[in-house]
Chains A and B, each alone.
Chain A
Amino acid sequence: MSAAILGLLQAADRNGALVATLDVRHWPVTVGRALTADLVLDDSHVAGEHLRIDRTAEGVVTVQVLDTVNGVALGRTRHERGTQFNWPDSEALTLGRLKLGLRLAEAPIAAEEPLPQFPWRSVAWTVLAVVGMLLLVVGQSWLTLTEPSQLARQLPGLIAAVAMGIAVWAGLWALATKLFTHHLQFWRHVRIACASGLAIQLVSMLAGLLAFMFSLETLARFEPQLVLLGAAVAIYLHLTVIVPQRRRGLAGLVAGVAVVGMVAMLGTNWLQNKRLSNKLYLSNIYPPSLRMAPAVPVAQFLDEAGAIRKRLDERLKDREPDADTPEDPDAE
């Protein structure tokens, strides 16, 4: 009874769910909210007669924008009312809050995708990350808990606490992910949490080691800020799971927050003590064989220490910290 199908129009909402489809059996077809349209879309931002889609003899699909306030977007370009443009079939049109896609009958279809296999790789990575994190915790307690009985006593609790911590952290991110997408992605968040935890620790240890090796006091002093940067990267990675299509915006947002946090951190130190870091000196000691920086004679060390006097003179000019009572305001 009917002509052959020339194409398939599909309208989807923002989450990718199909809201309407049309088997195209003749050209042109109209799209709009009115019931007279060929494809009827229930979206208040769509005009009664929004678009007319046609196909030329050469096979090019064209779109004519009809009487609409909002117009149509193809990729990043907007097309206003009364204009006409060619529509390459691979791209989706945006009208109102909906996406409109077109499949032509003669277009080749992609090969059948196999069903996803059990994600061995992901599982392997997850296991690796979690084991790495636990090893880090165990290693750190081994380093610092020098009494054997202490280690044995505290380790089970410590491991449980770390596992709980990761679970809660990843769980919260997973809930947020579920809110915005369809998946929990719990294990992915676990991987991110563990990997970034390891990386932050590694950076911090490396900073301490380099600071000791080459006597880089500044590196030791600003290690907390390095950790803050690491944490910002970790949060960015978690966020990209939630809204994968907004990587750039997220990067900007997280960088902005990190900058504000950094300024607040350094600014507080400055306001309190007129120095950017609260660490007065490098305190990481590593095995002596790792020291690369030269050891200077006492005389040279004291020569350099002489510079303290000028810095203290500067400090003496500042108002004292809790000068709640001015010294003698009304004496004579």
Chain B
Amino acid sequence: MHHYQPSRPLNHLQAMLGGLAIVLCLHAAHAQAPAPAPAAPAPAAAPAQISRDAQRAYETTRDKLVQIRTLLRNSNTQASVGSGFFVSADGLIITNFHVASQLALEPERYRGVYVPVDGKEAEVELLAFDVRNDLALLRVKAPATGMPQLAFRDAAKPLGRGERIYSLGNPLDIGFAVTEGTYNGLVQRSFYPRIFFGGALNPGMSGGPALDDSGQVVGVNVSKRLDGELLSFLIPAQFAQALLAKAASAKPITKPAHAEVARQLGEHQDLLTKKFTAAPLTPQKHGGYSVPVPDDALARCWGRGREPDFKAFELERTDCQIDSHVFAGDFNTGYIRLRYEAYNAPKLGPLRFSAMYSQSFANEYFATRGSRKATPAECSERFVETGGMPMRAVVCMSAYRKLPGLYDVSVLTMSVNQSTRGVQGRMDAQGVSFENGLKLVAHYLGGFKWEAAP
């Protein structure tokens, strides 16, 4: 892609759409950094901002609310902190998967504890998790009966837009807090249903409950956008209920559960691939070129025409992303992203156009080196004929080291049919099976077309 000047436009664009839901998972080291001035009498100031209803929500929930910590077994230092809440009398707790992922993936190094609002920390064990909906089910280790518990709101009685909801948790390990906000319906173009919560969520509140006026759980705190104000997201309660129903009597997880994570991600990518390939992609015109973009209901696209920084040629960009990120342990996966750059430079002539076009081609990033999570990329390249035009195409894939059968797939295309114009495309699919990866690439490549000017 084009990087002549440290391209501010692209960065800006990325900021607009790249800053997707940032998970609230908090590491202990981060929590210590921005310590507030100790002199500020925070607790005294708090009630002034909270309405009576919030106060009531907190009072009725405080004994069902917990903080979840994962601790390093050796040193007992906390590796991450989040929130959770009791959902059964025998001590079952719902939290986020990203709060408890270390218990699932590295149980030999981490253990989990919960800390009630007034009480001592005690051990919890992980029973089950739902990677796709970022949920985990924990149980108090010591046998328990008659624990206080929160009830779920009846799914048949949906909230109305603008209704008050109260989100609870322990932000930044500072102390338990309740924040008040509004229910704004479901997030548009989200791959799985997510509640758009118009209120403040902070790191550490992940996994905490969001309650309606009557104190029933409507959702579970999960994430927020960093590029907006009071744009927070909740997982609808029905998914927590489903996990609870399925796994209430499951055996605790004591061995690394990579296979189960991979299985759930496998289901996710199957669904994602099916949705992506279900219908032909929508053609988007750039001069005589048609490039494929996903349906408006599935993906969010940002476009930008005629970069003002470049006078010698025209450049139009498009950037589409399917909002299907899934948090799997310590990385994000499970999404598809498409990008295009359409060049038109009659003034430059074929040679200079080729030089510029090549540079844009060479600038692309691939995982040359590999990492702890995935292997270095392996590629295959060719001149490919599709939609009445030849393209240079490169497919690169890398395999996840610990999630068997999952791959990152990238395909890069450069049209080579016109001497002073061309369109560059790139699709990245994260965490898909090998077959689905090729299926996505085939679907994508099939969407290109050249129609000569009439």
Chain A contacts to B: CB under 8 angstroms:
142-144, 146-148, 215, 217, 272-275, 278, 280-289, 291, 293-302, 304-309, 311-313, 315-316, 318, 320-323, 328, 331
Selected contact of B378 from candidates A217, A289, A299, A315, CB within 8 Å: A315
- Asked whether A296 lies within 8 Å of B377 as measured between CB atoms, the reply is no
Which of B350, B376, B401 interacts with A287 by CB under 8 Å?
A: B350
Given A295-B390, A296-B383, CB of A287 within 8 Å of CB of B351: yes
Is there contact, CB below 8 Å, between B390 and A291?
Answer: yes
Q: Is B7 an interface residue (CB 8 A)?
A: no
B315 to chain A, nearest CB (A): 11
With A293-B383, A297-B385, A315-B375 as contacts: A309 and B356 at CB distance below 8 Å: no
User: A315 and B399 in contact (CB under 8 A), knowing A280-B368, A291-B390?
Assistant: yes
Chain B residues proximal to chain A, CB less than 8 Å: 4, 108, 310-313, 345, 348, 350-359, 361-362, 366, 368-372, 375-386, 390-399, 401, 407, 412, 414, 416-419, 422, 434, 438, 441-442, 445-446
Report whether B375 and A146 are in contact in the complex, using a CB–CB cutoff of 8 Å: no
Give complex CA distance A283, B393 in Å. 10
- A-B pairs, top 9 by smallest CB distance, nearest first, are A283-B362, A295-B390, A295-B385, A295-B383, A315-B375, A305-B380, A287-B350, A143-B355, A312-B399
* Residues of A contacting B407 in the complex (Cβ-Cβ under 8 angstroms): 312
User: CB-CB < 8 A to B417: which residues of A?
Assistant: 288
The answer to whether A302 and B441 touch across the interface, beta carbons within 8 angstroms, is yes
Q: What residues of chain B lie closer than 8 Å to A301, measured between beta carbons?
A: 380, 382, 384, 393, 395, 445
Are B379 and A308 in touch, CB under 8 angstroms?
yes
User: Once the chains bind, are A296 and B358 in contact (CB under 8 Å)?
Assistant: no
Residues of chain B with a CB closer than 8 A to A284's CB: 358
- Complex contacts, B368 vs chain A, CB 8 Å: 273, 278, 280
Separation of A312 and B370 alpha carbons in the complex (Å): 11
B276 to A: closest C-beta gap in Å: 16
Instruction: Give the nearest-CB partner of A220 in chain B.
Output: B381
**Which of A275, A278, A285, A306 is the one whose CB lies under 8 Å from B414?**
A285
Task: With CB as the reference atom, state the residue of chain B lying closest to A315.
Answer: B375
Q: Once the chains bind, are B312 and A146 in contact (CB under 8 Å)?
A: yes
Chain B residues near A215 (CB-CB < 8 A):
382-383
Question: In the assembly, what is the distance between CA of A148 and CA of B361, in Å?
Answer: 22
Across the interface, do A305 and B438 meet the contact criterion of CB distance under 8 Å? Answer: yes
A288 to B357 CA separation, bound complex (whole angstroms): 12
The interface residues of chain A lying within 8 Å CB-to-CB of B384 are: 295-298, 301
Contact check, B356 vs A288: say whether CB atoms are below 8 A apart.
Answer: no
Contact B391 A295 (CB under 8 A): yes
**Apart from A298-B386, A306-B438: 19 A-B pairs, beta carbons within 8 A:** A144-B359, A146-B313, A273-B370, A278-B368, A283-B362, A285-B361, A288-B416, A288-B417, A289-B419, A291-B383, A295-B385, A297-B385, A300-B382, A302-B438, A305-B380, A312-B375, A312-B378, A320-B370, A321-B370
A-B contact pairs, 20 of them (CB 8 A): A142-B352, A144-B352, A146-B310, A273-B369, A274-B376, A280-B377, A280-B394, A285-B361, A287-B350, A288-B417, A288-B418, A288-B419, A295-B382, A296-B382, A301-B395, A305-B380, A308-B378, A316-B399, A320-B370, A321-B371
